Amino acid sequence: MNTTPVKLGIVGLGRWAKVLAKAAENSDRLAIVAGYSRTEDKRQAFARETGVSAVPDLKTMLADPQIEGVILTVPNEQHLALAREVAMAKKHVYTEKPIAATLEDGLQIEALQRRYGVTVTVGHSARLMAGIRRIRDAIDAGELGRVAFMEANFSNERALELTPQTWRWYRNRAPGGPLSQLAIHQFDVLHYLGGEIVEASSLASKLSPVGAEVDDQSMTVLKFGDAKIGYVGSCWTSPGIFAVRVFGSKGLMHYEIDFATWDTPHKLHESSTLYIQRGKGGYGSREVLPVPESDMFRIELEMFAASCRSGCANELSARNGNIALAVVNAALRSIERRGQLVAVAEMIAEAERAEGVRHVA
């Protein structure tokens, strides 16, 4: 068995690339060895800050036989074109969430796996938080009984900071505002915890005083394949929060992190809250549970590295990434229809038909 660290390249050297580079430093399973950005100043600044060697162009990175996979931390609309280049070079693909700017692009990225024999990993890291994993363990062990309801919220103050110079200002680049930028994390988390999401109903509003094009508040109700229901709220005009609560016939569990530690996930356990409330006991009888130390960004990179080495997809798959994006699309369609339920399968089928027409043309 090859136990040497998997060597990776990274494209797009902004803030998030630095977060992932720091996470990679804490792993003995992978090493980011090359970084590329179209801007020379960014390349050199990234190299100075992280110690990752800069390459002058993408072609140089893709020609390196030692590099097994490439991390893409670029704007959403660039995901498909760059993922295709990486896959054509027979290197595995990691792309930040969402998998793509559109579901049609996301399906094409998913298809790269079959076409070029590579894997695609999508950075839906929130499901890897220690508290989320503990809730899933409790569900699987029957501690909560039959789960019938789930609720989640992911909010921050982003809409109060937007200007026309930021891409999130524009409806076509950040559709639904926090719906596509924050709630999508929780759609993936609830998919992980609750199984198949079949329908979504959503409402949205625009309340920020800055005047951006995008909505900045959203509430989405989800219906699951086994008839349970869930709720995801996302506000772009409040202090940051990430919280998940799961209700079952035997008990409920609540998990919440200090959003200020999002970029330093190895510290999440220091200020997060996880408790279980059993039976008919009230709030005062809840059992506070310890949250082990973990690092969701290091873990997702190690999953990617394992896929690079084995050639097998991991749970942060292109399919799961496309499901999360399809739920976003269903919620956006529901907003257009004044809150009507919209089938997630309808969104996927619509995107598949659009792709079929495109290929025929």
- Residue ranges of domains in the chain, CATH in brackets: 6-125+298-315 (3.40.50.720), 126-295 (3.30.360.10)
Q: The tokens of 326 are what?
A: 């399809």
Q: Is the pLDDT of residue 112 over 90?
A: yes
Distance CA 88, CA 241 (A): 40
Q: State how far Cα 158 lies from the chain centre.
A: 17
What are φ and ψ of residue 259, in 5° steps?
-60, -25
Q: For residues 168 and 177, is the Cβ–Cβ distance under 8 A? A: yes
SS3 of residue 361 by DSSP: coil
Structure tokens at 220: 């989405």
Lowest mean pLDDT segment, chosen from 6-20, 253-267, 304-318:
253-267
Please report which confidence band the pLDDT of residue 360 belongs to, taking 50, 70 and 90 as the band edges.
very low
- Residue 11 CA neighbour count, 13 Å, CB half: 26
Segment 126-152, tens digit of pLDDT: 999 999 999 999 999 999 999 999 999
What integer pLDDT is reported at residue 100 of this predicted model? Answer: 95
The pLDDT of 252-272, averaged and rounded, is 91
Closest CA to 36 of 69, 59, 64, 66: 59
> How many Å from the N-terminal Cα to the C-terminal Cα in the chain?
46
Mean of per-residue pLDDT scores for the chain: 95
Phi, psi of 117 (to 5 degrees): 70, 35
Task: pLDDT band for 282, please (50, 70, 90 cuts).
Answer: confident
Taking only the tens place, the pLDDT of each residue in 292-301 is 999 999 999 9
Residue of 301, 297, 314 whose CA lies nearest to 32: 301
> Which of 68-82, 183-197, 275-289 is predicted least confidently?
275-289
Helix (H) or strand (E) holding 69: strand 67-72
**Whole-prediction pTM value?**
0.94
* pLDDT higher than 90, residue 261: no
* CB-based contact 174:214 (threshold 8 Å): yes
Percent of the chain with pLDDT over 90: 89
DSSP three-state, residue 194: helix
> What's the mean pLDDT in 11-38?
96
Task: Give tens-digit pLDDT for 179-198.
Answer: 999 999 999 999 999 999 99
| Of residues 115, 157, 179, the one with CA closest to residue 324 | 179
Q: What is the pLDDT of residue 359?
A: 53
Q: How far is CA 348 from CA 58, 173, 182, in A?
A: 32, 20, 21
Q: How far is CA 20 from CA 9, 12, 152, 248, in A?
A: 12, 11, 25, 36
What is the pLDDT, as a whole number, of residue 361?
39
| Residue 291 reports pLDDT greater than 80 | yes
